[in-house]
Amino acid sequence: MNPVIQDLRDILGGNENLIKLFKKCNFLSNSVMENLVSNVALLNNEYGVDINVLRKGLAQRPAAFMRTSGFFRNVLIRVEEELGIPRNSGMFLYGIYLLASSSKKSIESKCQTLRSFGWTEYDVSELMRRNPNCILTSIQTMRRKLGFLMTELGYKPDYLATHSALFTYSLEKRIVPRRRVLLVLKKKGLLDYNFYSAITKTETQFLKTLIEPFEEDVPGLLQLYQKSKGCSKVEASTR
């Protein structure tokens, strides 16, 4: 067996994950595999990132680990120095994904989009530090979410910067349908529940906590929720 493939198999923890990687990437040249092995070793040995965390990262975004060693080292430095994310943070890999896959121009365009909605430099930096994944979304999606969260719901930049999970959920499939359920419960005087807590619940938790206990009081609540998930249309400002 090719020594590089053997090293890669060891990193991934077996043939099954190796096959998945090959299927996901279609074609891996020897040099690209060498980059991947070298970069994973750097993260594991010098930065102390657990190998199991790295395996999950490889399954999510393998391309981020395939850059040349020099480029990759520079990305790691920038994650800590520019984004302010320490290597022991759970967001460190997400910082790598962002800087390894996005140009400075692209990142700046998204930061400018945030500023156009009244975000300060501190707010923007805080969002990227807490969840760089938010900057990986498209500008169009970012504008729609900002328009809904800020204009429709009235959230301020400093709140959104520290509750970044709101940016990671789909408007149509999660945020809007769950909000409709909360509005119905509040209107009927049954419950006035914290919106952020409702959004961050798993689907099972949401159903057990905010749907099932009220189905007798609000017939059709589950159907309303399911229908909203299937046909939600969000009108939001796209400045």
Mark whether 91 and 11 lie in a shared domain: yes
Are the CB atoms for 8 and 37 separated by under 8 Å? yes
Indicate the number of domains in the chain: 3
Mark whether 32 and 19 lie in a shared domain: yes
CA pair distance 124, 239, nearest whole angstrom:
17
Are the CB atoms for 39 and 71 separated by under 8 Å? no
User: What DSSP character marks residue 238?
Assistant: -
pLDDT for position 235: 47
Mark whether 36 and 111 lie in a shared domain: no
Q: Which domain holds residue 128?
A: 104-168
CA pair distance 187, 224, nearest whole angstrom:
15
Single pTM value for the model = 0.83
Whether residue 190 is contained in a domain is answered as yes
Are the CB atoms for 162 and 126 separated by under 8 Å? yes
CA pair distance 121, 115, nearest whole angstrom:
8
Whether residue 42 is contained in a domain is answered as yes
CA pair distance 216, 172, nearest whole angstrom:
26
Are the CB atoms for 182 and 152 separated by under 8 Å? no
User: What DSSP character marks residue 67?
Assistant: S
pLDDT for position 153: 93
183-215 tens-digit pLDDT = 999 999 999 999 999 999 999 999 999 999 999
Mark whether 210 and 198 lie in a shared domain: yes
Tokens of 203: 């689907």
81-123 tens-digit pLDDT = 999 999 999 999 999 999 999 999 999 999 999 999 999 999 9
CA of 173: how far to CAs of 109, 164, 168, 203, 228, in Å? Answer: 26, 17, 12, 11, 8
Mark whether 119 and 57 lie in a shared domain: no
Whether the pLDDT of residue 76 is over 50: the answer is yes
Mark whether 7 and 94 lie in a shared domain: yes
Mark whether 23 and 92 lie in a shared domain: yes
